[in-house]
Amino acid sequence: MENQGQLAQYIPELAKIDPDKLGIAFLSNENETFGVGDWQTRFSIQSISKVLSLSLAYNLLGENIWERVGVEPSGNAFNSLVQLETDNGIPRNPFINGGAMVICDMLVSHLKKPKSDFLEYVREISSCKEVNFSVATAKSEELVGFRNKALCNFIKSYGNIKNDPDEVLDFYFHMCSIEMSCLELTKTFRFLAFSNFKTFNGDKVLSLSQAKRLNALMQTCGFYDESGEYSFKVGLPGKSGVGGGIIALHPEKYGIAVWSPKLNQKGNSYKGMKFLELFTTETQLSIF
Amino acid sequence: MENQGQLAQYIPELAKIDPDKLGIAFLSNENETFGVGDWQTRFSIQSISKVLSLSLAYNLLGENIWERVGVEPSGNAFNSLVQLETDNGIPRNPFINGGAMVICDMLVSHLKKPKSDFLEYVREISSCKEVNFSVATAKSEELVGFRNKALCNFIKSYGNIKNDPDEVLDFYFHMCSIEMSCLELTKTFRFLAFSNFKTFNGDKVLSLSQAKRLNALMQTCGFYDESGEYSFKVGLPGKSGVGGGIIALHPEKYGIAVWSPKLNQKGNSYKGMKFLELFTTETQLSIF
Amino acid sequence: MENQGQLAQYIPELAKIDPDKLGIAFLSNENETFGVGDWQTRFSIQSISKVLSLSLAYNLLGENIWERVGVEPSGNAFNSLVQLETDNGIPRNPFINGGAMVICDMLVSHLKKPKSDFLEYVREISSCKEVNFSVATAKSEELVGFRNKALCNFIKSYGNIKNDPDEVLDFYFHMCSIEMSCLELTKTFRFLAFSNFKTFNGDKVLSLSQAKRLNALMQTCGFYDESGEYSFKVGLPGKSGVGGGIIALHPEKYGIAVWSPKLNQKGNSYKGMKFLELFTTETQLSIF
Amino acid sequence: MENQGQLAQYIPELAKIDPDKLGIAFLSNENETFGVGDWQTRFSIQSISKVLSLSLAYNLLGENIWERVGVEPSGNAFNSLVQLETDNGIPRNPFINGGAMVICDMLVSHLKKPKSDFLEYVREISSCKEVNFSVATAKSEELVGFRNKALCNFIKSYGNIKNDPDEVLDFYFHMCSIEMSCLELTKTFRFLAFSNFKTFNGDKVLSLSQAKRLNALMQTCGFYDESGEYSFKVGLPGKSGVGGGIIALHPEKYGIAVWSPKLNQKGNSYKGMKFLELFTTETQLSIF
């Protein structure tokens, strides 16, 4: 596999990562795990975290959340403001930045201690008690986050952010700064991969129908404006982050996480995409 | 189920259809068929036909076709010219009108007698020898097709239509005018639903990987700018047409076709969408 | 003055012109004329002609014409389809191609023999009986005019073209193919420059208020998306064409025409713009 | 004249104004003043102030300012973010909000005490020593100014705002909050109306060429996306503000200010526009 792509440059903390890191973890429906390379090294999961905040909001608020955010692919770059202007402040889906901010705004309204309550939730579903924010990454992103600040204030101007934009952004940047290893990622996403998954307390995170819907959303919107290409070549629900991580799921069969920090032009892990394409083509284990 | 929506108004021939028609056909991987209502009445399959022309071009030209048309959801209404301007005449995907025209242009270049060769192909894969164009519908659409004429000339101005736009449009309008019943639709789409499907000659239409890719494309782009909503609620690869038909597939398991002519605001069959949502929710038989 | 810019490439007939042609003609309110260089050589006036068709429609139909075309600068490239989509088929102003086509459509509806009647009108106001279309240029443009064909059919799809698009385009391409010299241009535009101008029959072409309005329109919209720059630097109502001609007026004082075929990136004569900027800066004779 | 339109609603402080106020002031090149109605009552001049900040930046920095802001009409609503995305953070002109913010950023960089230095400048050119900011209006606008906050951070993300966005916005909101009467407005704009104008110190504010350029800019861009309509009907360089004020100039002849707080749909004073149209039509004193 060629060694193309480049590190996310716009978040200073991410630009410092060793570009040659590569990890792959596999988790079967029998709870068997396999891994190669840096599969137990933590990295910044970034946008992958948007699935986690969304799932918590979905758990807490049910179908009401779809009144404030759509479920359609955006067809534009992930930080575009254009569509918001046409759509009166309703972001196209919860995985573009604006949509994730609206979800964060819901959690800020609903949780008592938003940041620590969210962290608690992630630790609960992942069974990984040491998972944490990287405050350095959150701060690093906040310092250069003028585009995100613009986005949040823009949505606020349409009334679709209820709290103070600065507070929402603080939650948003922390949420995106969560660090996990590939192994931890596969464990975290069991609640979407396996319908018999229950937390330590014996609770289901989402109903079967809700889980299927989140999987469908990842399929159509999980890879920014490369979601079609990803569906086309990989054929599994998944989500990527600019930290170079990707999680992909074959419902009821397996979960797979890849980490390689160099990104292609669309902001997705160059090697991660290539690997998953090869994997599903060779194994013929896609959902299609 | 409420009786909402309205007939496609912009094609005079379609506006004449009895709005209360309703048919459903089901085809299992054991070749069992079931049906209710008007499941054996032919109707204009319209955009569903775009999957057929695409599959023929894919069969003939292989992966080269993706140089002239993308695989990303458009995020805009199905006849929008805006994105073409940004993307220099490369349509976002082969299911929006512009993309389907580029595919038609390939077939016009490649086939000796484009219209009859295409019809032959459809009859071959459907095993339905009487399937035919509706010349009346094709003419009806041509007479009012100023938007499509604009679209085709616009793409031509970027050089991504090689033939005379009028010739391409003539092929396009005929292709869209094909009439099938729900039963015939399920039979026609066996080549995408079942990997062991072979034509009468013993040929496979597409390789396994190609078929998976078309399924993925239908999943992300098959319902205009309601594709996300459809994936979210139905969770099956599928394609709709403004004639009120929908075909949906559960790969290796079954195919299902619905016809009800009244359309919702996005141009998809109102009852068809509702039925498929209920069906996959009740049976829990989605791909996710 | 540097010799920058390049010939209009998209119209084959215009790409053949000697790029070093340069002519300037001046006409005072005392009917004195001066000229230098190729000021008596005819060239294709192209979009300058849009002022003439507009003035005839304004003369014939009065303020009604503004129901079908706006008076705002477009802020986009001169052949953009995007704004038409937002504005439901009402072109922003009569000097962008779409707007000029709507005006042509009015004339096709209103004139008995559209092309020859229009030519008669131009000969009347210019007092130049030999002014004519270049059929070769009209045909040349028609052969490659896919973008204009798209535009006309697109507006037709909104109902703002009443006649057959092909007929409207034929008129449009002929109208744009009119050939005049710089001298003839200055004479032709007396009806806008001097309020006491009357035709041979003693008629005024437009009322004083109408003439002022056309001058204002040229000021704000006459140079495609360089209209602001032109107003800013030249400060006179004017109109340019891709044949390299520019007419500019100082109401009640003088008219000036420049011809130099090499165009800048915005499609306006490179040297023509430079000359007019120098001229109004040195003489301090702008309207501001 | 009908009593249409409505008060600017989005700035709470402006929504409190008596909607029936109406003032008109006229200043001749002989320094004669006339006035009717509330011509000596101060009101919030809002965007009219953008001409003043622009003139100060032009005075201080010369033609360099045009590297960071354009001179073309925007063709879009005055607070649109869309074009900025296409144009990489270079606002179309200095009279749309984004462009005015870039000019404010230049002044924040260049002036020692930006707010008081700017106020000093306005007092100097207006000869009105009591002219002042309305801190209440500035604060009122700041509290609801999410769209402007979005805009400023968005431009900052392209690097075309050099200072802290909050500091630039504070200057911007104060600048827009300046209060003047119609009479004071006409005096303030003498520096653009009359080429022989000098400040108390005997200085010219702008060179003749610079003043003509600002007049041209007001002509093409001074009335948001109604600039073409205004030029068309009024035919004088001018600038409006959402406080309901309009200043219009006939270079070397006169200045005229109108104030009526109810706005038309484009955000310009309903009666102010009507009055100026009547005035220039009746007097035939436009620049065209």
C165 CB near a chain B CB, below 8 Å?
yes
Q: B188: which residues sit within 8 A by CB, 6+ positions away?
A: B52, B122, B125, B126, B128, B131, B180, B247
**Chain B with chain C: Cβ pairs closer than 8 A:** 52
Instruction: Provide mean pLDDT across the span C79-83.
Output: 72
Helix (H, G, I), strand (E, B) or coil at B247: strand
* CB B22 within 8 Å of CB B260: yes
Our answer to whether residue C50 is catalytic in this structure is yes
Residue in C155, A90, A227 with CA at minimum distance from that of residue B92: A227
User: Is the CB of B276 inside 8 Å of chain A's CB atoms?
Assistant: no
Interface of C with B in 131-150 (CB under 8 A): 146-147, 149-150
> Is B172 a catalytic site residue?
yes
Q: How high is the pLDDT of residue C2?
A: 63
Does A229 reach chain B within 8 Å, measured CB to CB? yes
- Position A48 scores a pLDDT of 98
Residue C278 DSSP label: H
Q: Do D288 and C233 touch (CB under 8 A)?
A: no
Q: For residues C243 and C44, is the Cβ–Cβ distance under 8 A?
A: yes
Interchain CB distance below 8 Å, D82 and A82: yes
In angstroms, the separation between the Cα of residue D51 and the nearest Cα of chain A is 26
Of the partner residues C73, C212, C284, the one whose CB lies closest to the CB of residue D228:
C73
Cα C276 from Cα C267, distance rounded (Å): 16
pLDDT at position D75, please? 72
- Inter-chain touch D156–A165, beta carbons under 8 Å: no
Amino acid A240: pLDDT: 96
Dihedral sign of CA atoms A186, A187, A191, A194 in order: positive
D132: exposed, middle or buried (C-beta count within 10 Å: 0-12, 13-18, 19+)? middle
| Interface contact C153-B165, CB threshold 8 A | no
% of chain D exceeding 70 in pLDDT: 98
Nearest Cα residue to C36 out of C159, C183, C168: C183
Cβ-defined contacts of A90-93 (< 8 Å, 24+): A90/A158, A90/A160, A91/A155, A91/A160, A92/A221, A92/B75, A93/A69, A93/A217, A93/A220, A93/A221, A93/B228
Do C150 and B146 lie within an 8 Å CB cutoff? no
How many angstroms separate the CA atoms of D265 and A157, rounded?
Answer: 19
Beta carbons within 8 Å of A285's beta carbon, 6+ residues apart = A250, A253, A254, A279
Backbone angles phi and psi of C47, in degrees to 5: -65, -20
D80 close contact with C: CB closer than 8 A: no
- pLDDT tens sequence across D188-234: 999 999 999 988 778 889 999 999 999 999 999 999 888 889 999 99
Report how far residue B143's alpha carbon sits from residue D279's, in angstroms, rounded to the nearest whole number: 50
Of B82, B146, B157, the CB nearest to C82: B82
Of A149, A152, A157, nearest to D147 by CB-CB distance is: A157
Q: Which of A108, A234, A242, A258 is catalytic?
A: A242
| Overall average pLDDT of the C204-215 stretch | 92
Which is the catalytic residue, given D51, D177, D205, D224?
D224
Answer positive or negative: Cα dihedral of D198, D202, D205, D211: positive
Q: Is C134 a catalytic residue?
A: no
Q: How many CB pairs under 8 A join A and B?
A: 111
| Contact criterion met (CB below 8 Å) for B149 and B79 | no
CB contact under 8 A, C93 and D228: yes
Per-residue pLDDT of chain B (288 residues; tens, 9 = 90+): 566 788 887 788 888 899 999 999 999 999 999 999 999 999 999 999 999 999 999 999 999 999 999 999 887 665 677 778 878 899 999 999 999 999 999 999 999 999 999 999 999 999 999 999 999 999 999 988 999 999 999 999 999 999 999 999 999 999 999 999 999 999 999 999 999 998 877 888 999 999 999 999 999 999 988 888 999 999 999 999 999 999 999 999 999 999 999 999 888 999 999 999 999 888 877 888
Residues of chain A where predicted confidence (pLDDT) is lower than 70 = 1-3, 76-79
Handedness of CA A217, A223, A224, A226 (dihedral sign): negative
Separation between Cα atoms, residue C274 and residue A121, nearest integer Å: 67
CA atoms within 13 A on the CB side of A169: 21
Instruction: Name the residue among A251, A96, A115 with its Cα closest to residue A189.
Output: A251
Is there a contact between C278 and C248 (Cβ–Cβ < 8 Å)? no
Q: Do A130 and A119 meet the contact criterion of CB atoms below 8 Å apart?
A: no
For the segment D6-29, the average pLDDT, to the nearest whole number, is 89
| DSSP character string of A68-103 | TS--S---S-TT-SHHHHHTTT--S-TTSHHHHHHH
CB D183 within 8 A of CB D33: yes
Asked whether the beta carbons of C225 and C74 are under 8 A apart, the reply is: yes
The nearest alpha carbon in chain B to A249 belongs to: B288
pLDDT over threshold 80, residue D163: yes
pLDDT, residue D56, reads: 97
Please tell me the pTM assigned to this model: 0.91
Q: Is residue A10 annotated as a catalytic residue, yes or no?
A: no
Q: Output the CA angle C175-C178-C181, nearest 5 degrees.
A: 150
The residues near B265 (Cβ < 8 Å, ≥ 6 apart) are none
Cβ pair B154:C147 closer than 8 A: yes
* pLDDT top residue among D11 and D212: D212
Q: Cβ distance B237 to B248 under 8 Å? A: yes
Q: Averaged over D69-97, what is the pLDDT? A: 84
- What digits encode the pLDDT tens for the residues C239-270? 999 999 999 999 999 999 999 999 998 889 99
The rounded distance, in Å, linking the Cα atoms of C100 and D177 is 42
Which amino acid is residue C165, in one-letter code?
P
Cross-chain residue pair C231–D216, CB shorter than 8 Å: yes
Backbone phi and psi for residue C287, each to the nearest 5 degrees, phi listed first: -80, -10
Would you call D47 a catalytic residue per the annotation?
yes
pLDDT of res. D77: 64
pLDDT at position D243 is 95
Supply the DSSP symbol for C65: G
Question: What b/e sequence results for B115-138 when a residue is b if at least 16 CB atoms lie within 10 Å of its CB, and e otherwise?
Answer: beebbebbebbbebeebebbeebb
Handedness of CA B71, D83, D78, D173 (dihedral sign): positive
pLDDT at C201: 79
Query: pLDDT exceeding 90 applies to what percent of chain C?
Result: 76
Could you tell me which chains touch chain D, where touching means 3 or more CB pairs under 8 A?
A, C
Give the pLDDT score at B91.
Answer: 94
DSSP letter string, B110-160? H-SSHHHHHHHHHHHHHT-TT-B--HHHHHHHHHT-HHHHHHHHHHHHTT-
Which residue type occupies B82?
Answer: V
pLDDT surpassing 80 at residue D80: no
Q: B26: Cβ–Cβ under 8 A, 6 or more apart, which residues?
A: B33, B34, B35, B186, B254, B255, B256
Average pLDDT for chain D:
92
Choice between A206 and D286, residue whose per-residue pLDDT is larger: A206
**Tell me, what's the ipTM?**
0.90
Please state the φ and ψ torsions of residue B91, each to the nearest 5 degrees.
Answer: -65, 150
In this model, does residue D1 exceed pLDDT 60? no
